[in-house]
Structure 1
Amino acid sequence: MLKTLNLNPSRLKNLLLILSLLLILYLLFYHHAPPSPIIPRATDAPLTRRHIVFAIASSFQSWPRRKPYIRLWYSPESTRAFAFLDRVVAPGNDSLPPVIVSGDTSRFPYKFRGGLRSAIRVARVVKEVVDRGEEGVRWYVFGDDDTVFVVENLVRTLAKYDHDRWFYIGSKSESYDQNVKESFDMAFGGGGFAISHSLAKVFSRVFDSCLIRYSHLYGSDARVFSCLAELGVGLTHEPGFHQVDMRGSLFGMLSSHPLSPLLSLHHLDAVEPIFPNMSRTQAIERLFEAVNVDPARVLQQTVCYDRLNSLTVSVAWGYAIQVFNGNEFLPDLLSMQKTFMPWKRGVTVDASRYMFNLREYPKDPCKRPVVFFLESIVPDKSGIWSYYTRHKVKECVIPNAIKNLNGIRVFSEKLELDIEEVLLN
């Protein structure tokens, strides 16, 4: 005879608790999350500069004045790059990438009223550089002739990803309005973007047909984005790429840079020099003095508190130091000060909106923090000494602890991020 099992409420409760505990243990020890799209390849040799090919979109008119920017990051001994122009230029020297004249694009339609037909030629740079068949390429990186890359940081960043899988890596615009007009899922070309070699080979075979279908679009990056979307590839966002769809002073952005390594800066001719009393070229050269010594640390923010004098010190390494009177909350210091202006002024309300948190920058210089800009960097056996000099704008009534401070010296060790630390950024 079969006996029925009678469970009173107390025994039923205990049974449910045991089953719940077993389920939790199963989830903890046996359940595996879906694989991350970021997969370092342990079987390959480490990624180096020589595994990356840069393709730079330029023109006969802009090439002469943009050469100083390219010389900052391009090295013929270690960097592989090609500049694509619309016309032949006089032979250059070995300090610049080889110049290639872009192919004829007259057969492709362009229907965006008021736009520039050159967008087709610039977009087709992606196909033309891949079709060259360069050996040993793992990544293709694209930018404009006024895009400045931090190559060592690019190497560290791209090393996070499997180049044999399909990756399209970049960043959206800083401007909310520009993203609305184009796409929040598109890598803006001036800021630079990367495509894995496996994706690039497939992309190059189909891109000409995409150029015909997407003749109504405005820019080159929109054409690349649309064709990649047809292949089922979405954008992998890396915040270190900077389109710089802003005008005026970039101090607020550079002094509160995201934790991610600096990868690129664009539109340098459209903004003020990033260091005072210098030309644009001289100013970016000063920043690259820091880049060449410790690229991973450049612009990384460190905040210190002086309790004795009630001061807050914010260090954007290799660029500037701000000294605030009083104790500032850390979350406030992580927000960018609005020292810049919209890319397109007065068109719509959206033009003055940005894709990051902002805090106001006082109009009265006496209500601002005291700023010290990078003067020099001296590496030695023990580490790196960086020196920052006070920038005086106006005579203000300030505490003696700040008033008598004319320079700041910072000691640091070179920042060497391993793959696990890069993955967290």
Structure 2
Amino acid sequence: MSHRDVFYGCRLVAVLLICLDAFAGDKHTGPDHAAEHRKHSVELEDVVIVIQSQRNSYHARRSGQRKVEILQQAARLGQISRQPEDRRLGVPVVVLLHELSQYEGDWSILPALPRLFAKYGHSASWLFFIEEETKVTLSALLEVLNRYPAEEEWFLGKRLHDNEASIIHHYAFSEDPSSFSYPDTTAGWALSAPLLKRLTERIRSENLKSDFTIDLKHEIALFIWEEGHGPKLTAVPEFCTEPRDGCATTFTTYLPDCGDPVSKNDVFVAVKTCQKFHSDRVPVVKATWEKDAGFLEYYSDVTDASIPTVSLGVPNTERGHCGKTFAILRRFLSKAVPKANWLLIVDDDTLISLPRLRQLLRCYDPKEAMSLGERYGYGLIQKGYSYTTGGGGMVLSRTAVSRLLSSSCGCYSDDAPDDMVLGRCFTTLGVPITHSPLFHQVESNAHARVLVTARPDDYSEEMISTQRAISFHKHWNVDPVTVYRYWLQDTRPRDEL
């Protein structure tokens, strides 16, 4: 045999060996790909469900019940197993937001993200946020999440958008309001782990602008979008509010049925006014909701027997009204007025449904110190405080008023912003600010001197149409009686108006 024959023979053997090796490798390709698929397939143990809970006892109980329901649903799916390391598989982690830390500002989500990342960011593929009355179908949720590669940045939710430029969103995207979407938090919204990581890094490293937190869902979407550097919201049709086939989530109501409404005499109503508004604003109150009050007084800078008004001896101020509000608090605890469990403080241009408020108050314990209304935040990234905004109505339990007035906390001037001072005081005293999105308010920002007016038309039509609102503020650019009859009066159907 020649050297050439030996050479070509060896070369042929080498080629055959390469082919056999390649063939052997092909036999393992299928299982390897399956393992890779399993690696990226999301199971329940890869999901952290965050219930946007509140510290108030009623809300803590309701969110705790929702957590139990979710875990029981996972158990029914038959996905609980024991491993040698005693690790449970097949169940999601369910977090009550108010238990994540002692910081009340976690409700605004951004301060909570680093804490959530530290605890779950290295083990979870998704964070899924829901409200305490949001119902979740876990099997459908998994189907949704598995449509999106968890190793990429995703922001998922039910899409809401402004039909017109809205003052509560600071006229953002005024040229095309519908171009920017934000999540309907009642339907649930999700962040993938890579997006959670990047948001956490931003919060930790950047000097974030942090003044007022007003509309959380819109501000979260803006922060995530990061002026085009981050993802926009991806609309998920299975994230629902109204029940229908194929939904992964549904939502019941913000106005729960806790039994018969509290008595009219359980709520003392304090209306703040001043002489220049006696002739135009007070008549609207009398024509709409005054008749539903058991105890009501108008507090002004002058005594006017035709209304009548009570002068508290506090001069009128153009803004803030802290001196007047604290005088109201002292009068509420005095023998000058009938004793009631609850104090409602409103402006003379607040429109409110007292029957709906009394229905909501049945859910709460008046012996618990609480401040109820629409919750805003100030400086929450920098350990600031929350407060109940004034124009939409501030509801205080008698216990909260007593605790406040027995402390040294108070106004630094008569024209200080009363709602913000109350919020700062309650934060210091450990009284949680309890939020209800059924209160709708104007924010008169005493620091920035900006007036933010929230009319019904300023809210997403889809969101506001599903609510039984309790209040709206301001008579600006609306017919207040028509707004009251359409949105707040229950005696006539809307289609008859």
Q: TM-score, normalised by structure 2?
A: 0.42
User: Which of these two proteins has the greater Rg computed from alpha carbons?
Assistant: 2
